[in-house]
Amino acid sequence: MDTSLYWLWLRDIEKVSVTKKQKLLEKFHTPQAIYDANAAELLVGEDITFAEAQSIATQKDLTAAKQEQQQLLQKGIDIVTPGQEGYPAPLHNIYHYPLVLYRRGEYALCDDDIYVSIVGSRNATQYGARSAKEIAYQLAKRGIVIVSGLAYGIDAAAHQGALEAGGKTVAVLGCGIDVIYPKSNERLYHEVMHSGCIISEYGLGMKAAVYTFPARNRIISGLSMGTVIVEAAAKSGALITAKLALEQNREVFAVPGSIMSPTSDGTNALIKNTAAKLVTSYEDILEEILPAYARKNAEAKNAVVQETKQLPKLGEEEEKIYQLILKGINDIDEIALQANLATSAVSSMLTMMEIDGVVYKDKGSFFIS
């Protein structure tokens, strides 16, 4: 049986908090094991009360889960759950991680990608919208996935910037996965779906409510390596996202705004209180997030290059040159020095390697093809 049925069942159990459900998962490891346990086995020290154990034991019915799964299949909506491929590993480490994540669109979430969220005021100024769009555009051009909430203003501008760059973007909803809110963003919803994906922890038909947006914000920040705040009033929902990002040990960035603009009071305060790094260019963001990402993925990427590259047979000295370029040594004189070879000999070998398609030359430097 599909394990996602048990996650749907666990998510929908009444009279048991998310915290208690996660305590049960710590003990039983899977929702199916919780489903199979009797009331006595469900008692976990003082964490689960007898009434809660009884409540779980008397709600063992997968009918609703099966019906929902069938509806999702008809609408082309996927379910991803903790530990399953497509469920972002960073989300599993946040407080009250989603037990079920709905996904709709062409893009499957991938832990090898870099995610940066851009959020801010719904009542964005022209300056704020342009800033969000430009930052998203430049980051997406460099392969970074832009995350936002599909709201008016800054969120919409961030998604649009990523789309115009031909990049990927993820919209996290504070309503059901099939509910377009606000309705005026219907076209943007479908554009995001076809060039990225829509995700939500809320199932079919769930209407947006006051409490769903702060809950949505923890997913936006939790998914991302860094969160950029572009225009936020003193009591803005975007500041909740910034607070959550800090609690989740994520990077927080803020675009400064005019001291005469109420929509910049929150962002300017973040910078003033040193909670966020001041951003005047997308490069300020890259400076913070790329080193950590590079360290995390360098070995994996090198392994992929080594395994997938079908090289012509290289001589001993050519192999030495190849390995130096692979390490990032691109200048011919430095290659010759490191390889302990004459520059003329290295130049000759590089010419042959370029003809064979092993390397290529760009602005006087050599790179792996």
| Span 25-61, pLDDT tens digits | 989 999 999 999 998 888 876 688 888 999 898 999 9
| Segments making up each domain of the chain, as ranges | 4-74, 101-290, 309-368
3-state secondary structure of 362: strand
3-state secondary structure of 287: helix
- CB distance 199 to 109 below 8 Å: yes
How far apart CA 75 and CA 257 sit, in angstroms, is 42
| Span 151-206, pLDDT tens digits | 999 999 999 999 999 999 999 999 999 999 999 999 999 999 999 999 999 999 99
pLDDT at position 305, please?
Answer: 46
Pairing mode, strands 251-255 and 226-230: parallel
How far apart CA 212 and CA 159 sit, in angstroms, is 20
How far apart CA 115 and CA 242 sit, in angstroms, is 15
Global pTM reads: 0.78
pLDDT at position 307, please?
Answer: 45
Tell me the CA distances in angstroms from 357 to 27, 312, 367, 368, one per residue in order.
55, 9, 11, 9
pLDDT at position 295, please?
Answer: 59
Tell me the CA distances in angstroms from 147 to 77, 117, 361, one per residue in order.
19, 4, 35
Residues of the chain with confidence (pLDDT) below 50: 299-300, 303-309
Preceding omega of 182 cis (within 30 degrees of 0): yes
pLDDT at position 300, please?
Answer: 46
Classified by CATH at the fold level, domain 101-290 comes out as Rossmann fold (3.40.50)
pLDDT at position 71, please?
Answer: 95
Instruction: Name the class of domain 309-368.
Output: mainly alpha
pLDDT at position 348, please?
Answer: 84
Tell me the CA distances in angstroms from 230 to 50, 213, 233, 269, one per residue in order.
48, 18, 10, 12
3-state secondary structure of 226: strand
* 229 bridge partner residues: 119, 254
